Structure 1
Amino acid sequence: MNILLLSMPDCAPHFNANRWKPPNLAISSIAGNIEGHNVYLADLILRRTRIAETIRELLLQYQPDIVGLSAMSFQFATAKRIADLVKSLKKDTKTVLGGYHATLMYHEMCESDDSGPFDFIIRGEGDLCFNELLEAIDGKRSLESIPGISFRVDNYFIHNQARPLEDLTKIKIPNRSQRIWKGYQYYGFTLDIVESSRGCVMPCNFCSMDKMYGKTFRRFSIERILLDIANAKQNGANFIIFSDDNFTLDIKGFESLCDAITEAGHNDIRYIIQASSMGITSSDTLIEKMAKAGFRIVFLGIENASEENLRLLKKGNIIERTKLAVKRLHEYNIMIVGGMIIGNPNDKEEDIARNYEFFVNLQIDFFADQILTPYPKTGMREELLNMGLVTNKYDYSRYNCFWANIKTNYLEPEDIQFLRWKYNRKYANYICTTPAFIKNYPLAYYYRQYFRRPFFKIKNRLFQNSISEKELYKRDMERAEAMNKFF
C-alpha cells in the first residue's frame, strides 16, 4: 500500500514561520517502523502558503491508500479540514489521526462531528501501533487485536483497550529519507529533531505529558541516540533539537551521553535541549560536559518570578536554583531560552512586568513567554474552570500559549494579551544583546546593532510615529490571527 503521513502547518505566533520550520519527529518515527509498504512524509510546515493545492498534488502524485495525520490540540481544526479535503477528493482513502489531541480527546471527538472524516484514531505512542494497523487493513490480523486504536464501525467508534507503553528497544530510528521536501531550518541552520528519552515524572499541573506517557521516564540507549544523531547529520542537519520534555531527569545518563557525543565527533553541530533548574544545578560537571558536546541552547523552565505562582504551577520554590543555573550555563556561553508563564490567577500588570524585569536582570538570552493555557485534561484546567477563569473552553485552535484563553482575578483576556505584547515591545531591543549571544553570534549581533536596528529606528520615525500604540497592537494581532488561516 501507499502511505502518506502528514504533519500540520500550524505554528504558534511566537515563532517566525519563515525561519522556524521543524520536521515532525512522530511521522518520521512511524515511517521508520513501517514494513512492506511505500511511505511518504509531508511536513506541511514547508508548504504553509498553499495547503489545499499541496494536498491535491500529493494525492495525485502518491495515490495514497492510507493518509495519516498528526496533530496537537491547536492543530486539530486544520487536521480535520485536511481530512475532509482528502475524503472529498479520494473517498476510498483511509484516514488515521494520531498525536496529543487524539490521545487526550478521543472520547469527545468520537461523540461529536469532529470525528467525521477519520476512519481510525491512534491513542498514545504510534511508532509500532501504526504498522499493526496496516497489518489489520491488509487482512493479516483483526482490528480488535490492536491495543491503542479506535476504529469506525458504521457511524460509531469502537475503542480498544489502552496501549501499554512501548519497549523503546523495539523502536527503530526515524526514516528521514522518505521526506518529500527539504528546507527544514532554524534561523539559517538545517534543523532536525532527535529524542533521547520519553516521559517526565515532575508534578507540573499545566502540562499534559503524563496523559501520553503517564508519570514515567524511559531513556533510549546511548548507542541508539548516537545512531539517530548520525542519521540526522547524514540527512543534512547541523542543528538538532532534542524533543525530550526534561533532559535532566537522569543526570548520570545525560553526562554519559555528553561524553559519547564528544567521543563520536558529533560535537561538530549544535544542540538545543529542555531542562529544569533543579536538574541543571544538581551536578558540578554536567555543564562543562554539555559545552564540550555542543549543547548551545537550553530551554529552562523558569516559569515565574513569584513564589505564589510557582506553587500554583507545582514547580516548587526554584528561584534561587534558577539563578544558579543561569550563572553556570552562562559561564560556558550556553544560551538560555527562559520559559515564562503569565496570566496566573492573581496576576496584575505589576506581576507580569516583574517577570520580564526578572528575566532581563538575569540576562536571559531569549524569552519564551507564554500565557497560561488550560490544556485539555490537565490539573490546571480543572483548577481554572473551578475558579471561573477559563473564558475560551472549546476553541482549541487558540490553545498555543500565545492567545489568552483565561482571565485573572484582576485582568480580562484582552488585558493579558495586550500586556504580553506591550512587554515584548518594551524589551525588543534587549533580545540578542546578552553577553552569551554576542559570544555565540558576534556577526549577528553587530549586524543587528549597527545595521538592522538603525534601519528600523529610522523607518519607525518615518512611518510609525503617527500610529498610536493601540493601532500598532491591533495590526500585530491581526497578523497573528492570519498566521494559521490556510483555507
Structure 2
Amino acid sequence: MSVLLIQPPEPQPAVPMGGYGLSCVAAYLEDITPVRILDACDGTIEGVLAEVEEFAPDMAGITLLSAPSVYRILELARRIKDCRPGIEVVLGGNTATFIPEYLLQSGAIDYVVRGEGELTARELIQRASPVGVKGVSYLEKGRVVHNPPRELIADLNEKRPPARHLMDNSRKLVHIVESSRGCVYQCVYCTASSFYGHTWRKRSPENVVREIKQLMDFYAPLFVFFADDSIAIDVPRLRRICELIIEEGLQNTNYMVQARTDAFERDPELAAVMARAGVRCVLLGIESGNQDSLNSMKKGNLVEKNNRAVEMLRRQNIFIWGYFIIGTENESPQAAWQTFEYAKSLKIDSPVFSLFTPLPGTRLYSRAKEENSLITDDYRAYDCHHVVTKNMPLEMEEICRRMNKEYFFRREYLEEHMRPQPGAEMNALLAKIFWTAALNTGNIRPSSFQDWQAMLGGYASLAREFLTSRFAGYNATVAIELPAGIPCRLRIVNGELREVEPGEEAEVIVRGNESAMMQMLAAMTLEPLSACLAGEVNVSGPLEQVLDWLEWCSALQAEVALDPVAAVETEGSPAVQQFNRLVQEGEALPAELTSVVIRFGRHQLLVDLRQGLVTGIGPVRENTPGDRELAVDAAEFSSWLNGGMERLVAYVASSLGGRV
C-alpha cells in the first residue's frame, strides 16, 4: 500500500514551513511501504492532483491543523477521490483530532487519526484496516466508531528522526525541530494540553543538539524553529540545550522558540544565554495587560512577569513576536483598547491581536457548548478574528482588525523596526518577514484609503533619504485605482511622498487586479515595470511620466526591501514566464548572451539571459552595460507597456538575430 502524505495548499501561507509533522509520520512508514511527502503549503489543488495522478498512491494522508481550513481540506479530499477512485483518505492533526465525527460524516474522509500520529499510522498501514487500531476513528455502516486512544510514545529520545529526506528542502528558509511535546498548563483557549493528553514529554539536551547538528550539516537552514508548545517548562533543560549549541559551534544560525514569560523570572540569566546560543526570536503568549483577563484565561501568570520578561529579551536584542487576546468575559471595548496600548508601551516587535475564541478541543469550547453560547457552527469563523459567542460584542471584530493594522501602519513603528539598528540587524529582517506574513494572511491587509495612505506613507518615510537624493526634482501626482473602488492619490515632491492637495489632477493613473496591486504596492514583491509589461498592471499617462513613476516605485521597492531573505523568484514573475513561453514557441535566443540593456532616453530596461532564456526582466538597478545594448524610440517602447510582451519579445529576438 503506497502512501502520499500531503501538507495541503494554503490560500496565503504566512511563512511556509510545513511538512514537519508529516516527516515524523513518514519516518514510521518508509520501511514498510512506499511513501512520499508533498508540501503543497504554497501550492495549488491542481498541483496536488497532478502528484496523485503521477504517484498513484493507495492512501492519501492530509494534515488538518486549523478549523478555518476544514472546508478546503474536505474539498481537496473529494477532488483526490475523483482523481483516483478507490483511494483511502486519512486526516490527522490538531483540528482533525477534535472533530472526527463531522469529518467522517462529510463522506469525503475514510479515517481520522486522533492525537500523536506516528504509531497509529504505522499500525493502520500494517493492518490495512482501521478495525482495532488505537487512535483511529472511522465509519462502520453509517455509524462513527472511535477506537480507544493510542498510548503516547513513551520516550521521545527513542523516536525516529523525521524523514526530512522525503521533503523538498530546496526552498525552505525555516526548518523545524521539536524538543518536547505537550504542555502542563491549563489555558482555557489552547489545545496544546488536551491534544497530548495533558502531559509533557521531553528529549534530552544531547539528543536535541545532535539533531540540530545533523540539520546544519545537511541543510544549513537560515532559521530553525522549535515547534515545542512551551520549550521553557523545564528551564534548566532549555539552558543546557543553549549551552550545548554554543559548545558545538551551532549558534551562527537563527533560532526561534515559543516560551512563557514566567520562565525568565525563574532564571534571570536565561535571556542572555539564549541570545548567545543564537536565539533571535521568541514567541511570547503575553495575552493581556489586564490581570483579570489573564485570570479568566486561566493563564497562571502575572502582568508584572510579562513586563520583566519583555525587558530582559529587549536588553538582549531578541525579537519579540507577541500574542495578545481581547474579548474575555466581561471585557469592554474600552478595556480591550488598553491591551493595544499595553502592547505599544512594551514596544513589541511583531504583535498579533486575536479574539478570545473557543476552538474545538479547548476547555473554552466545551464550556460554550454546555452554555449554548455559540452563534455559529461555521468553522471558517473560528479563525480568532470573528465573534462566535453570544457574550462577546460584535464590535470586537472591527476593534481586532483595527488593532492589527494601526499597530503596524504607524510610521514610528516602520522607522524603528524596519531600519537595521547596530547590533540588531536581524530584528529588521524579522520585522519585514512578519510584516509580509501579516499582509499575506490578511491581518493587516489595507482595506481603506486611510490604510493605503498610512502604509505607503510609512514605506516612503523609510526610504525618504534615498528617494529625495535619487529623485530630486521629480514631482508627480499619481491616481491609484485600488481594489473595491478605493481611490488613492500619491503626491510626490522632489521624490518624497506628501499629502495630496484637494482637487489636484493626476498625471498618471495606475490600475490592476486585487492580487497584482497587493503584490506590487503592499507586499512589494511584484516589480512594477515587469508587471506592466506582462499586463498585470495598467499604467496610463504621458510616456515619460509613466516611466518616471514606474522607476520611482521600483526604487522604493528595492530600498524598502520587504522580502530580503530569498532571492527574487524570477521563475514566478509573470513577465519572465510570458517572455520565455513566447521565445520557446519561436526560435531560441543566442545561448552565449547573459544580458541585454534596452534604452529609451534616460530609461533603461534590463533583460537577464541564461542559456537563451530570460531569468529576470525589469529596470536597470545599476548603470552597467549589458552584453548588448539596444536603443528604441518612444513609439516602440510605449507599445510594450500594459501587456505588449509579444512586441517586446519580437523586437529582442529580431535584434539579436532570432525570429519569433
Tell whether the 8 Å contact from 2:479 to 2:487 is kept in structure 1 after alignment: no
- Secondary structure (helix, strand or coil) at the match of 1:240 reads strand
More off after superposition, 269-278 vs 380-389:
380-389
- 2: CA distance between counterparts of 1:317 and 1:220? 26
* Equivalent in the alignment of 2:357: 373
Among the aligned pairs, what percent are the same residue?
Answer: 25
Q: Report whether the alignment pairs 1:199 with 2:182.
A: yes
**Residue 284 of structure 1 pairs with residue 268 of structure 2:** yes
Are the aligned partners of 1:372 and 1:406 in contact in 2 as well (CA < 8 Å)? no
State the Cα deviation string for residues 166-188 of structure 1 (Å, max 9, x = none): 1223321111111147423xxxx
For the residue of structure 2 that corresponds to 1:284, the secondary structure is coil
- 1:86 maps to what in 2? 80
1:74 to 61, 68, 76: 68
Match of 1:134 among 125, 132, 136: 125
Take 1:456 and 1:347, find their aligned partners in 2: how far apart are those partners?
40
Q: 1:59 aligns with which of 46, 49, 52?
A: 52
Aligned partner letter, 2:125:
L
Do the aligned partners of residues 462 and 351 (structure 1) sit closer, same or farther apart at CA in structure 2, a change above 3 Å counting? farther
In structure 2, the gaps of 5 or more residues are 433-455, 468-474, 489-513, 519-660
From the CA coordinates, give the structure whose radius of gyration is larger.
Answer: 2
What per-residue deviation string (whole Å, max 9, x for no partner) do you get for residues 336-384 of structure 1? 1111001223233322221111111111111021122111132222444
- CA offset at residue 192 of structure 1? 1.2
Query: 1:419 pairs with 388, 394, 399, which one?
Result: 399
Distance of aligned partners of 1:89 and 1:418 in 2 relative to their CA distance in 1, 3 Å threshold:
same
The CA deviation at 1:241 is: 1.1
Quote how far apart the aligned CAs of 1:68 are.
0.4
Residue type of the partner of 2:406?
K
Please state whether the residue corresponding to 2:81 is helix, strand or coil. Answer: helix
> 1:366 touches 1:431 (CA, 8 Å); kept in 2?
no
Checking the alignment, whether the CA contact within 8 Å between 2:262 and 2:306 is kept in structure 1 is: yes
Q: Deviations over 1:231-286 (max 9, x none)?
A: 43323422011111111100011111111111122211111111111112210321
Listed as ranges, the matches of 1:3-402 within 5 Å are: 3-10=3-10, 17=13, 20-34=15-29, 35-47=31-43, 50-51=44-45, 53-72=46-65, 73-110=67-104, 112=105, 114=106, 116-137=107-128, 143-167=130-154, 168-180=156-168, 182-184=170-172, 190-233=173-216, 234-384=218-368, 390-392=374-376, 394-402=377-385
Q: 1:464 to 1:46 in 2, by over 3 A?
A: closer
Aligned to 1:187: none
Deviation at 1:191, TM superposition (A): 0.8
Alignment of structure 1 residues 463-478 onto 2, 5 Å? none
Residues 220 and 66 (structure 1 numbering): CA distance in 2 closer, same or farther, change over 3 Å?
same
In structure 2, the CA distance between the partners of 1:181 and 1:296, relative to structure 1 (3 Å rule), is closer
The residue that corresponds to 1:485 in the other structure is none
Q: Is the 8 A contact 2:407 2:413 kept in 1?
A: yes
SS at match of 1:20: coil
1:97 and 1:251, CA in 2 relative to 1: closer, same or farther beyond 3 A? Answer: same
In the superposition, relative to structure 1, how do residues 182 and 396 fare at CA in structure 2: closer, same or farther (>3 Å)? Answer: farther
- Letter of the 1:175 counterpart: A
Matching residue's letter, 1:41: I
- Decide whether the 8 Å contact of 2:262 with 2:301 is kept in 1: no
Q: Distance in 1 between matches of 2:200 and 2:142?
A: 38
Deviates more, 1:155-164 or 1:293-302: 155-164
Does structure 1 retain, via aligned residues, the 8 Å contact 2:280–2:426? no
Aligned-pair CA distance for 1:404:
3.2
How far off its partner does 1:322 sit?
Answer: 0.7
Task: Determine the C-alpha separation between the residues in 1 that align with 2:25 and 2:136.
Answer: 15
**What is the CA distance between 1:132 and its match in structure 2?**
1.4
Offset, 1:391 = 2.8
Deviation at 1:436, TM superposition (A): 11
Rounded to whole Å, the distance in 2 between the matches of 1:376 and 1:451 is 39
* Aligned-partner SS, 1:245: coil
CA distance in 1, matches of 2:225, 2:426: 22
Q: Quick check: 1:364–1:434 contact (8 Å CA) kept in 2?
A: no
Amino acid in structure 2 at the alignment position of 1:105: I
Instruction: Name the structure 1 match of 2:424.
Output: 440
- Partners of 1:425 and 1:382 in 2: how far apart? 32
Structure 1, 89-98 or 379-388: larger mean CA deviation: 379-388
What is the total number of aligned residue pairs between the two structures? Answer: 450
Question: Please, what is the CA RMSD of the aligned residues?
Answer: 3.3
SS of 2:42's equivalent in the other structure is: helix
**2:10/2:42 contact within 8 Å kept:** no
Structure 1 stretch displaced more, 303-312 or 216-225: 216-225
Residues 440 and 345 (structure 1), Cα distance of their counterparts in 2 relative to 1, 3 Å cut:
same
Question: Which stretch shows the higher mean deviation, 306-315 or 235-244?
Answer: 235-244
Q: 1:466 to 1:244 in 2, by over 3 A?
A: closer
TM-score (norm 2): 0.62
